[in-house]
Amino acid sequence: MCTVCGCGAGETKIEGEGHAHEHVHADGTVHSHAHGHDHDHHHAHGAAAAAAHEHSHHHADGTVHSHPHVHQGEHVHEHAHAHGIGGDLDFGAGPARAHAPGLSQSRMVQIEQDILAKNNTYADANRRAFDERGIFALNLVSSPGSGKTTLLVKTIELLRDKVAIAVVEGDQQTSNDAERIRATGVPALQINTGKGCHLDGHMVGHAIERLKPADGSLFLIENVGNLVCPAAFDLGEHHKVAILSVTEGEDKPLKYPDMFRAADVMLLNKCDLLPHLDFDADLAEANARRVNPDLTVFRVSATRGEGMSAWVDWITAGLVAQGARRAESVDALKARIAELERQLAAR
């Protein structure tokens, strides 16, 4: 369940992962049966010293998959308190701060975990996978109807000859958006969140495995249209990009500050409509910067193409930086190997 708004889980559908078929036989008998596709799926999260556990998932179709997790930072401290004969009696320092007589079996267990810790572990694994392969990942967030998919299609058209692109589309229902993206010639995977209102790190981890994005490619995630919950869920992207269209209100960044704080970039879309509206673009930008002073803003019109070159240049710069970072880490690894080999040879 979404810990932000309480929307349901368990109805998430990733295209191609488990589907029902209906057969009609010649005699008119109809039978349907579900297929599940087994997916082995290993996450290695965090340091080896952290606590590890394995758990299994049972899918509705009977498929079971298990995967071990190592959670970083999930350290459990126990300290039992004995209040028996022979021990010191110290009621004031009791673990519950309000000890009742006769309840001496209790003990405190420290959890020290963020309520969203599970998601963050998946997101960290995704980010590592992106960084190791020099992939630049963006998470596009907005209200429904701000023009995210049109903007994505235009961005892809401007970039597809220069860089490999893969797209994840999140919606509650339908695969319409993924089909629009596929029409541009790049691979796209639809995730239907069912009752869910946002994508989470685990869903995107599966999407990476399915899409197998190329080294040095651009990975675009179109989140579910919602300005509240996706702000709290890290997917492992390098930047959240918030899209605000000029047919909305200038005060939206003030009404939904969490999202505009979480984003690094804001695209002010549908700017071609400005002459027909009372929308004050400067005020919208100023409101967004009140909430997030570091925000980079681009004014664009996805349908007319105005302002798109600056946005595309920003993506290209991100791809170059990501490639350089990867080269650096490869060089650092090579240097480390050379150093270890030198030490071995010296023995």
Distance of CA 132 to the CA centre of its chain: 17
Site string for other proteins, 278-307 (x = CB under 8 A): ------------xxxx--------------
Among 44, 60, 76, 324, binds other proteins (CB under 8 A): 76
Amino acid at 69: H
Q: Which residue spans within 276-320 are E strands per DSSP? A: 296-299
Q: The tokens 């963020």 sit on which residue?
A: 114
Binding mask 217-236 for other proteins (x = CB under 8 A): -----------x--------
- What is the full DSSP assignment across 179-208? HHHHTTTS-EEEEE-TT-SS--HHHHHHHH
Half-sphere exposure for 310 (CA within 13 Å, toward CB): 12
242 — alpha (psi -120 to 50), left (phi > 0) or beta?
beta
Pick the piece of the chain touching other proteins (CB under 8 A) from 62-70, 107-115, 152-160, 204-212.
107-115
CB 236 within 8 A of CB 137: yes
Stretch that binds other proteins, among 91-99, 137-145, 170-178, 244-252 (CB under 8 A): 91-99
Number of residues engaging other proteins in binding (CB under 8 A): 35
Choose the binding region for other proteins from 16-24, 113-121, 122-130, 205-213 (rule: CB under 8 A): 113-121
3-state secondary structure of 6: coil
Q: What residues between 6 and 35 interact with other proteins by CB under 8 A? A: 6-7
Q: Which stretch binds other proteins (CB under 8 A): 11-19, 56-64, 99-107, 308-316?
A: 99-107
Give the Cα separation of 322 and 328 in Å (integer): 10
Residue type present at position 341: E
Shortest separation between residue 155's beta carbon and other proteins, angstroms: 29
Tell me which of 50, 52, 116, 273 binds other proteins, using CB under 8 A. Answer: 116
Q: 21: helix, coil or strand?
A: strand
Closest by alpha carbon to 163, among 127, 125, 137, 201? 137
Query: Quick one: which of 61, 209, 258, 264 contacts other proteins (CB under 8 A)?
Result: 258
Q: Which is nearer to other proteins, 180 or 261 (CB)?
A: 261
Both tokens assigned to 9: 């889980």
Verify binding: residue 194, other proteins, rule CB under 8 A: no
Look at residues 283, 223, 219, 286 and name the one whose alpha carbon lies nearest to residue 259: 223
Minimum Å gap between C-beta 30 and other proteins is 39
One of 24, 96, 320, 327 touching other proteins (CB under 8 A)? 96
Nearest distance from C-beta of residue 198 to other proteins, angstroms:
12
Can you list the alpha helix ranges (DSSP code H) found in 237-307?
252-255, 257-262, 281-291
CB of 46 to other proteins, least distance (A): 17
* Residue for token pair 């308190």: 81
For other proteins, give the closer residue by CB, 4 or 246.
4
Using CB under 8 A, pick the residue from 24, 34, 103, 321 that binds other proteins.
103
Judged by the rule CB under 8 A, the positions of this chain that interact with other proteins are 1-7, 76, 78, 95-98, 103, 105-117, 228, 257-258, 261, 290-293
